[in-house]
Structure 1
Amino acid sequence: MLMALAEFPDPGLPAHRNAVTAKSWFRETIGELTERLGVDDPSQLADHLTLVFEGLHASSQSLGPQGPAKQARSLVEKIITTAAPRPGTA
């Protein structure tokens, strides 16, 4: 997906539209999942996790799975555990 947007920057091209659709679907799905966590701002959490996912893909393509991408799980765990709980749920 990441490469499709770089290689096909014209929004009118099918490859570009398909990549945007896939990224939008991913962000929406993450948003639905973060809603279930009882955090104060599930949308912000979903944005943070989406950024990690995007960085994971970019990093693993250029530096491989043993590069910074190997830290993705621990980073996501830290992000999720530090998300502020909704008032009255902690």
Structure 2
Amino acid sequence: MPTPSGSRRGPGRPSRRCRPAGQELFYSHGASVGVDALLKEANVARRSLYEHFGGKDGLIEAVIRRAAEQDIAWYEEALAGADEPRARLLGLFDRLDDLVSDADFRGCRYFATDLALTDPEHPAHAETRSFRRRLRALLAREVTALGHDDPDRAAEQLHLLIEGTLVMGSTRGDQHPARAARDLAETLLA
């Protein structure tokens, strides 16, 4: 999962500046970041936020959707790193180890969003669920190609290991939860 980056200031439509600014701020400070901070970071007027997104909630939904596309591409790239399914899945945990060891890593944006937004009807929850379904489908594809007896269950277990890695990676400092998760994944895939 890449950390957000990119210029938000300068020319371009306000909506194109709001998404990356929101993505960076929501990732680094959480979804509770104030509207004024968003407007300042994106260098847009309050009116632009409401015209393009209907308000902060609409921007959060758009940011999660944008991040999900980037993150799914990251997972696809990570899985493309080997020739056979078992090596691809285990290699994914090696990439996760690099990710959670990065000083800028702040945890799983989907988990953080779900925790921060207590309204179950908030539109961002649909985006976090969609992301998780897509990730699980990628895992199921690989486990199916491996010839596992119960690919859906194995994909669910691998997904749990990934989510645990991301949560633990945000709280464990110099620990390496992805390495422990990789060991468990090896057992699961054996």
TM-score range, shorter chain: 0.7 to 0.9
Task: Note if 1:52 corresponds to 2:167.
Answer: no
Question: Identity percentage over the alignment?
Answer: 30
Offset at 1:47?
1.0
Larger RCO (CA within 8 A; separation ≥ 6):
1
Find the partner of 1:6 among 104, 115, 118. 115
Residue 21 of structure 1 is aligned with which of 104, 109, 130? 130
Q: 1:37 aligns with which of 133, 136, 146?
A: 146
The correspondence of residues 57-76 of structure 1 with structure 2, limited to 5 A, is 57-64=166-173, 66-76=175-185
Q: In 2, are the aligned partners of 1:31 and 1:43 still within 8 Å (CA)?
A: yes
Cα-Cα RMSD: 1.7
- Alpha-carbon deviation of 1:67? 4.6
Please report the TM-score for the alignment, with normalisation by the length of structure 1: 0.77
Q: Output the CA distance in 2 between the equivalents of 1:64 and 1:70.
A: 14
Q: Summarize deviations over 1:35-80 as a string: whole Å, max 9, x none.
A: 1111111111111101111111111112135153431222211211
Amino acid at match of 1:43: D
Distance 1:33 1:57 in 2: 20
Deviates more, 1:22-31 or 1:59-68: 59-68
In structure 1, list runs of 5 or more residues that go unmatched.
82-90
Amino acid at match of 2:169: S
AA aligned opposite 2:154: L
Give the TM-score, by structure 2 length.
0.39
* Counterpart residue identity of residue 35, structure 1: T
Does the C-alpha gap of structure 1 residues 75 and 6 become closer, same or farther in structure 2, counting only changes over 3 Å?
Answer: same
Number of residue pairs the alignment of both structures matches:
81
Q: Which protein is bigger by CA-based radius of gyration?
A: 2
Structure 2 residue ranges without an equivalent (≥5):
1-109
With 5-14 and 31-40 compared, the bigger mean Cα shift is at: 5-14
CA distance in 1, matches of 2:161, 2:185: 7
42 and 59 in structure 1: CA distance in 2 versus 1, 3 angstrom threshold: same
